[in-house]
Chains A and B, each alone.
Chain A
Amino acid sequence: MIDGDAKKLLEPFEPSAEDPWDRAKAAHLLRRGGFGGTALEIDAALKAGPEGAVHALAEGDECDAYRDTLALGDVIVASNDLESLQAWWLLRCVRAGRPLREKIALFWHGHFATSLAKVERARLMLRQNRLFLERGLGPFEELLQAVSRDPAMLVWLDSNDNRRGKPNENYARELMELFSLGLGNYAEGDVKEAARAFTGWHVQGGEFFFDADKHDAGSKTVFGKSGAWDGGDVVAMCARRPECAAFLARKLFEFFVHPEPDPALVAALGESLRARGLRIGDWLASLLQSRAFYSRRARRAVIKSPVDFAVGLVRVSGATVDGKAMARAVASMGQSLFAPPTVKGWDGGRHWISAAALLARVNFAAAVSRSPKLDAFGDGSVDALLAAFVDGPIPAPVRDRLAAHVAPLHDPDTRMRTLIRTIASLPESHLC
Chain B
Amino acid sequence: MLTGEWGQTPDDGNRQSRPLGSDPVSRRGFLGAIGGVVLASAAFDVPRFLVRAALAAGGQPAAKSGERVLVVVQLQGGNDGLNTVVPFAMDDYYRRRPSIAIARADVRKLDDVVGLHPEMSGMESLFKDGRLAIVQGVGYPDPDRSHFRSTEIWESADLAGGASRSGWLGRCLCDRSGHGESLLPGVALGGREMPQALVADRPRPTRNDAAGDESASSAVAVESLDEFRVRGEGLSPEKAALERKLLADLAGEPRIDTEGSLEFVRQSLSSTFAAAERLHDAVSRYSSPVNYPDFDLARKLRQVAQVHLAGFGTRIFFVTLGGFDTHASQRQTQALLLRELSQSLAAFVADLRHHGALDQVLVMTFSEFGRRVEENGSAGTDHGTAAPLFIAGGGVKGGLVGAHPRLDDLVDGDVKFAVDFRRVYATAIESWLGVPSASVLGAPFDPLPIV
Contact = CB atoms under 8 A, between A and B. Distances in A.
B207 A260 contact: yes
Interface stretch (A59-67, A287-295, A316-324): A287-295
Q: 10 closest Cβ contacts across the A-B interface? A: A356-B220, A427-B266, A1-B32, A296-B9, A297-B5, A343-B163, A262-B33, A295-B6, A355-B272, A19-B8
A295 B220 contact: no
A72 interface: no
Nearest to B170: A341
Contact of B6 (A18, A174, A292, A300): A292
Nearest to A363: B231
A160 B230 CA distance: 47
Given A158-B163, A392-B15, 20 more contacts: A1-B33, A24-B12, A174-B163, A265-B33, A294-B9, A295-B6, A296-B5, A342-B166, A347-B202, A349-B210, A350-B205, A351-B202, A355-B220, A357-B220, A362-B230, A366-B232, A370-B233, A422-B247, A428-B262, A431-B261
A170 interface: yes
A358 B10 contact: no
Contacts of B229: 359
Interface stretch (A34-42, A192-200, A397-405): A397-405
Contacts of B194: 341
B230 A342 contact: no
Interface stretch (A50-58, A122-130, A139-147, A328-336): A328-336
A338 interface: no
Contact of A343 (B165, B200, B213, B231): B165
B32 A262 contact: yes
B239 to A, nearest CB: 9
B260 A301 contact: yes
B268 A342 contact: no
Interface string B180-195: 0001100000001110
By CB atoms of chain A within 10 A, which of B218, B234, B260 has the most? B218
Interface string B36-53: 011000000000000001
A8 B2 contact: yes
B204 A344 contact: yes
Nearest to A173: B163
A407 B269 CA distance: 25
A342 B165 contact: yes
Nearest to A9: B6
B265 A430 contact: yes
A245 to B, nearest CB: 18
A427 B275 CA distance: 16
Contacts of B410: none
Interface string B236-276: 00000011001101110111100011101110110110011
B201 interface: yes
B163 A170 contact: yes
B160 to A, nearest CB: 10
B250 A296 contact: no
Contact of B9 (A5, A19, A344, A350): A19
A173 to B, nearest CB: 8
A334 B199 CA distance: 11
A303 B5 contact: no
Interface in A373-409: 392-393, 395, 397-398, 401-402, 405
Interface of B: 2, 5-10, 12-13, 15-16, 28-29, 32-35, 37-38, 53, 148, 161-166, 183-184, 192-194, 196, 199-202, 204-205, 207, 210, 212-215, 218, 220-222, 227-234, 242-243, 246-247, 249-251, 253-256, 260-262, 264-266, 268-269, 271-272, 275-276
Given A362-B230, A431-B262, A350 B210 contact: yes
A262 B220 CA distance: 33
Contacts of B256: 395
A260 B231 contact: no
By CB atoms of chain A within 10 A, which of B184, B242, B253, B254 has the most? B253
A84 to B, nearest CB: 15
B199 to A, nearest CB: 5
Contacts of B228: 355-356, 359
By CB atoms of chain A within 10 A, which of B8, B148, B194, B228 has the most? B8
By CB atoms of chain B within 10 A, which of A359, A397, A405 has the most? A359
12 contacts: A19-B9, A262-B32, A299-B9, A332-B227, A342-B163, A342-B166, A357-B220, A366-B231, A370-B233, A402-B246, A422-B243, A431-B265
A425 interface: yes
A303 B221 CA distance: 21
Given A19-B10, A260-B210, A355-B275, A398 B166 contact: no
Contacts of A341: 165-166, 194, 199-200
A309 to B, nearest CB: 11
Nearest to A362: B230
Contacts of B262: 300, 427-428, 431
B34 A260 contact: yes
B35 to A, nearest CB: 7
A115 B13 CA distance: 44
Contacts of A18: 10
A217 interface: no
B32 A9 contact: no
B9 A295 contact: yes
Given A291-B2, A359-B227, A296 B15 contact: yes
B218 A354 contact: yes
Interface in A133-171: 156-158, 170
Given A170-B163, A303-B265, A358-B272, A405 B246 contact: yes
A396 B15 CA distance: 15
A332 B192 contact: yes
Contact of B218 (A300, A351, A366): A351
Contacts of A295: 2, 5-9
Given A8-B2, A174-B163, A291-B8, A355 B276 contact: yes
Contact of B204 (A174, A347, A357): A347
Contact of A401 (B53, B162, B250, B264): B250
Contact of A398 (B15, B205, B253): B253
A426 B205 contact: no
By CB atoms of chain A within 10 A, which of B6, B15, B207, B253 has the most? B6
Contacts of A356: 184, 220-222, 227-228
A158 B256 CA distance: 51
Nearest to B199: A341
A303 B263 CA distance: 11
B253 A393 contact: no
A117 interface: yes
Given A24-B12, A356-B228, A351 B205 contact: yes
Contacts of A13: 8
A367 interface: yes
Contacts of A343: 163-165
A430 B8 CA distance: 22
A281 to B, nearest CB: 24
A302 B81 CA distance: 51
Contacts of A277: none
A73 interface: no
Contact of A115 (B12, B165, B251, B265): B165
